[in-house]
Structure 1
Amino acid sequence: MAIRKGALALATALAAALLTVASPHTASADPVNIRIGWSTMPGHLIPVLYSKPDILKHYGKSYTVEPIRFRGSSPQITAMAANEIDMAAFGPLVLALAVNNARLDVKVVADIIQDGVDGYHSETFLVRADSGIDKIEDMKGKRIGTNAIGSASDTAIRAMFRAKGMRDKRDFTMVEVAFPNIPPMIDEGKLDLGTVLQPMSKQLIASGKYKVLFTSKDAMGPSQLVFLTANGKFLEANRTALMDFFEDHVRAVRWFTDPKNRTEAVKIIADFMQQSPDTLTHLFTKEDYFRDPFMIPNVKAIQESIDIAVELGLSPTGITVDPNYVDLSFVEEAKRRIEAGAQ
């Protein structure tokens, strides 16, 4: 199930340090604790966004955050159904499954990362350069590593192979493997192809030992790869505090992605990941995923991805995302506050 990250004790300590300052937007004396699911760093950013008190106006006053790590998007459905998290990092298919299968009351509330937008990075699916695999058809009888069945990258894999008339179990075998374990399993010959995230993707390609067989953009076009989804009842019960949260959340993402803060931002992320900043040279460049400047998700792209998933047979039925499963009022209010403060 979920792995609660002890490294986030820093964020908890910051909450205590900030409690002495009053907030004009505080809904109650006790801050609302927001439990947020995430699965990958540095892509999702969630575990580090609340680590700089000078860019957070409301942390520890009207809200606190408890990031909780998962292997992918789909395991977060179970966690939300069990009331273990209030927000989740979902992919499009997972949203449809949460609504149709788990009967969850969920709303798309913010962008996390978008794939293949305006020349930005697209998720890569790698094979060994000496594998003899040069096209999708060469994958017949091979093994593919996927982080979680139903995740955004899993859907892209199936879309690409379905376009070539190839299907799981008949033409190839899908193996669920955590993202960090996919590259060594390809190297050891236990997998033939897998999703490899940045920065590892860039490093492996540069080594000359690996090559890109296809990207998510090749399979599905530009897409809303991952987005923040929230429990609808939680949103309504804590609307005032969550307006504060999203103002800080958007401010934090904007700080991390601002070129003038890049050196410090990369160091914060590198320290969290226990890596050298030199391994994260792709961050916040065109080699990274696109993030909307005000965290407004591409709802149209979410709908298109769900429609593709239904065509692939990954979900028996789709959903109409807008207006039934979207609430952009929080990021819209965050944008209003931030732009008003800049004047």
Structure 2
Amino acid sequence: MLNIQSGSTEFWRAWNHLLRPVSSRVETPRVKLSRRWKVLAVAAAAVLGVGGLPTAGAASAAGASPVHIRFSTGGATPPNEMEAAIFSPELQKKGILKGYDKDYTLSILTASKGTPQTLSLLAADQIDIGTLGFSTIALGQAKHAIKGGFSVVVAQFVDAHPGYGANAYMVLKNSGISGPADLKGKVIGTNQLGSASDIVLRAWLVNHKLDPRKDVQFVESGYATQQAALNSGRVALGTFVQPFEAMEQASGKAKILFTTAEATGETAAIAVVARNNFLKEHPKAVKSFLADWVAGLQWLAKPENRTEAIAIMSRITGTPTNVLGLVYGVKGKDYYRDLKGCPSAKALQNGIDAMVKVGDLKTRVDVSKLIDASYLPYPC
């Protein structure tokens, strides 16, 4: 499994260079790149099937097995998005992933710019399956962004499910901010305009009679950098998903101003979608992939495996095990995850309806028509 962290400007210079036609590359002045980013750019090309390298299903088309699946995250890590833990080397070695290397192989690209980047990759046929936010699901459908369409095939987590954890929007304890009125004229940190957590944030502002376009200023910053932005004073409010919320809570410097529960209610911030053309071409591989997804998710959720699961997530994220231990598997702190992988139409719809409220979507999208749970191993 290849996992490429693609947040560097130099990486994207290399990546854009590789995306050009060969003739264009010859005529264009040579881009000077460090050896490290040349290697990563070529690796990314291998993952996404550009520059003459194998694309998804190439082995299958040649009559060989397994099918190669190109997957992109939405930019988050466990215990937010779970694929890195599910398909980790640790679970592979345990034999939990029965179809891995038999029915399918997997490459994972990290979309450091959030789910809008994942949608762009799906639309360009550079990945087959990926994590989208409810916002990018709605926009992708409204704009018919993906040729042949797409389907929601497996859940990630539900934010603010009753009795479970919720994404938090935090301010410094010494900031003097105690309510929405105190944010007027302030700079607010969001991971990316138009993302799921950004829609929730702006819906909360609208609920409290603040105009997101006039009353506040937004600064885009990845989830991993929200803590530094808030603590340094660059933003007055930061957007925190797990495990970064737990890390900021542990610092003792910040407090929660509001959560998703107060903004939109129970919301499926993200879910996994697949291009319909890929589903039709490789149903067996997708079913095997999702069977392993559910098996891995269930193994990670077992109380007797909690210590090892936290250790796996700590290795992946760099978050100390004691911080993850404050969240993962702790009811009231951790997110709700359906252990059969079943997507929640209601929770996704709550987020999409919030888009209409803030003016990001003119016409309501009925997400229930996009859900296809037939590839999951258990009935929903």
- Give your verdict on TM over 0.5: yes
> Which position in structure 1 is the counterpart of 2:189?
145
Alignment of 1:304-343 (within 5 A): 304-323=350-369, 325-331=370-376, 334-335=377-378
Instruction: Report the AA paired with residue 268 of structure 1.
Output: I
Cα distance in 2 between the residues matched to 1:139 and 1:220:
19
Query: Among the aligned pairs, what percent are the same residue?
Result: 32
Greater RCO (Cα-Cα under 8 Å, separation 6 or more): 1
The answer as to whether partners of 1:74 and 1:149 remain within 8 angstroms in 2 is no
Cα distance in 2 between the residues matched to 1:152 and 1:301:
12
2:81 aligned with 1:44, yes or no? Answer: yes
CA displacement at 1:318 relative to structure 2: 2.6
CA displacement at 1:166 relative to structure 2: 1.0
TM-score (norm 1): 0.87
Aligned residues: CA RMSD? 2.0
> Which position in structure 1 is the counterpart of 2:277?
233
2:258 aligned with 1:219, yes or no? Answer: no
2:179 aligned with 1:122, yes or no? Answer: no
2:106 to 53, 56, 65: 65
2:120 aligned with 1:78, yes or no? Answer: yes
The answer as to whether partners of 2:223 and 2:244 remain within 8 angstroms in 1 is no
Alignment of 1:281-320 (within 5 A): 281=325, 282-286=327-331, 287-320=333-366
Instruction: Report the AA paired with residue 4 of structure 2.
Output: R
**Inter-CA distance 130–170: structure 2 relative to 1 (3 Å threshold):** same
> Which position in structure 2 is the counterpart of 1:21?
none
Describe the superposition over 1:190-246 as per-residue Cα deviations: whole angstroms up to 9, x where unpaired. Answer: 100011222332343344321111001110111112111111111111111111111
Number of matched residues? 314
Instruction: Report the AA paired with residue 326 of structure 1.
Output: I
CA displacement at 1:304 relative to structure 2: 2.6
Q: Secondary structure at the match of 1:130?
A: coil
CA displacement at 1:101 relative to structure 2: 2.5
Cα distance in 2 between the residues matched to 1:231 and 1:156:
26
Describe the superposition over 1:21-65 as per-residue Cα deviations: whole angstroms up to 9, x where unpaired. Answer: xxxxx9963211111211111111212312323101110011111
Cα distance in 1 between the residues matched to 2:321 and 2:251:
19
**Inter-CA distance 330–124: structure 2 relative to 1 (3 Å threshold):** same
Cα distance in 1 between the residues matched to 2:248 and 2:141:
38
The answer as to whether partners of 1:81 and 1:102 remain within 8 angstroms in 2 is no
Gaps of 5+ in 1: 10-25, 337-343
> Which position in structure 1 is the counterpart of 2:306?
262
Gaps of 5+ in 2: 6-39, 44-59
Q: Secondary structure at the match of 1:335?
A: coil
Deviates more, 1:98-107 or 1:209-218: 98-107
The answer as to whether partners of 2:269 and 2:351 remain within 8 angstroms in 1 is no
